[in-house]
Amino acid sequence: MAMVCLSDFEAYAKKYLPKIAWDYFAAGADDCTTRDENILAYKRIRFRPRMLRDVSVMDIRTKILGSEISFPVGIAPTGFHQLAWPDGEKSTARAARAMDTCYIASTYSTCTLEEISAAAPGGLRWFQLYIHRNRAASQQLVQRAEALGFQGLVLTADLPYTGKRRDDVRNGFRLPPHMKVKNLERAFEVCKMSPLDPSVTWNDIYWLRSLTRLPIIIKGILTREDAELAVKHGVQGIIVSNHGGRQLDEVPATIDALVEVVEAVGGRVEVYVDGGIRKGSDVLKALALGAKCVFIGRPALWGLAYKGEEGLQDVLRILQDEFRLSMALAGCASVSEIGQHLVQFSRL
């Protein structure tokens, strides 16, 4: 079977992953409306391509928070990579480094931060954090990440409680016994009373700031009001995200929310987006609407499920080729030429 586009990897993963793992990765909250809208919303955006520009030399590199990456697609934080591939997050880290892009490692990794670092020394990595009731545990994680050379701290803001994912409830989803949320092993066990702290507020950004010199990126912002608060509280970046449609269902698609957030931020901090990216042209649309970079979640897991590190590289390479081609066909030879003039919202 030829792996031509990301849907091919999705089909593979659906066929070969254990149902409980597939369901967990695929799950959306409630009716999965937002999960699906993330994809559909891209289809409502039309390009306004420009012709007869010299696109013989293409430059698709960009920078996020000062670090250069080979193209504006990174790996979003998702949990439990061992469900997709035995080496888990170690493979993810290797693939991201091989493709010269950024990997945001999740708190809920099945490898430790140390294992991830050791697997791909020198790779560009950020660490994703949930703030726990046990603040000491969170502090320890942040400081381990900084010490290990992670270059950004991503605070997930949209999970005071876990969304209702019906299939996970039906399946009684929990990690198989031989997998562990290793980063937290000593601090507390997963899957009992939630260790996450639902009392977190904007002031906790100041507490995080006091713990680390890493830039802080906040993930899960969907409104101009919260974007304004994020800037006001001193974050360095915002990831427009609805957690892949896994938290509150029937929030806007991220590409729709991006427009509002970018406008509110007005260039004061970098804005990224995740959710619904399935083609290189989706990346181009997100950049045209103001994202500095996008992050992929489920497609990365499909790549892992296909062939581990190699499969994820395949996914990234396809996105890279498609992104380069889309740019060229739209008349852009470098990322700096991408702008809002390239897109319009369809009447449909």
Can you say which residues are annotated as belonging to the binding site for glyoxylate?
A: 24, 165, 243, 246
- In our burial notation (b when 16+ CB lie closer than 10 A, e otherwise), range 192-209 reads eebbbeeebeeebbeebe
Ranges within 133-162 binding a second copy (CB under 8 A): 157-158, 160-161
328 binds a second copy (CB under 8 A): yes
Contact 247, 28 (CB under 8 A): no
Q: Which of 132, 233, 243, 341 is catalytic?
A: 243
Contact 44, 106 (CB under 8 A): no
DSSP string, 63-107: EETTEEESSSEEEPP-S-GGGT-TTTHHHHHHHHHHTT--EEE-T
Residue choice 250, 266, 339, 340 for contact with a second copy (CB under 8 A): 250
Identity of the residue, 43 or 144, whose beta carbon is nearer to a second copy in the bound complex: 43
CA dihedral 72, 75, 76, 77 (to 10 degrees): -150
229 binds a second copy (CB under 8 A): yes
248 binds a second copy (CB under 8 A): yes
Minimum CB separation of residue 86 from a second copy in Å reads 30
Contact 73, 288 (CB under 8 A): no
Identity of the residue, 68 or 225, whose beta carbon is nearer to a second copy in the bound complex: 225
Residue choice 101, 107, 212, 326 for contact with a second copy (CB under 8 A): 326
Minimum CB separation of residue 279 from a second copy in Å reads 6
Tokens of 331: 């008349």
Q: How many whole angstroms separate alpha carbon 42 and alpha carbon 254?
A: 9
Smallest Cα–Cα separation from 158: which of 70, 240, 231, 37? 240
320 binds a second copy (CB under 8 A): no
47 binds a second copy (CB under 8 A): yes
Minimum CB separation of residue 342 from a second copy in Å reads 10
Minimum CB separation of residue 43 from a second copy in Å reads 6
Minimum CB separation of residue 343 from a second copy in Å reads 9
Q: Which range in 47-55, 92-100, 120-128, 268-276 contacts a second copy by CB under 8 A?
A: 47-55
Question: Any catalytic annotation for residue 243?
Answer: yes
H helix runs in the chain, sequence order: 6-16, 19-26, 33-43, 89-98, 113-119, 135-147, 166-171, 203-211, 224-232, 254-265, 280-288, 298-330
Percentages helix, strand, coil for the chain, rounded to the nearest 5?
Answer: 45, 15, 40
Tokens of 230: 């994020």
Identity of the residue, 116 or 273, whose beta carbon is nearer to a second copy in the bound complex: 273
Ranges within 186-225 binding a second copy (CB under 8 A): 197-202, 204-205, 218, 220-223, 225
Contact 105, 182 (CB under 8 A): no
Ranges within 258-317 binding a second copy (CB under 8 A): 279, 281
Q: What is the pattern of x (binds a second copy, CB under 8 A) and - over residues 5-34?
A: x------------------------xx-x-
Catalytic residues: 243
Contacting positions for a second copy (CB under 8 A): 2, 4-5, 30-31, 33, 43, 45-56, 157-158, 160-161, 163-164, 166, 169-170, 197-202, 204-205, 218, 220-223, 225-226, 229, 247-252, 279, 281, 322, 325-326, 328-330, 344, 346
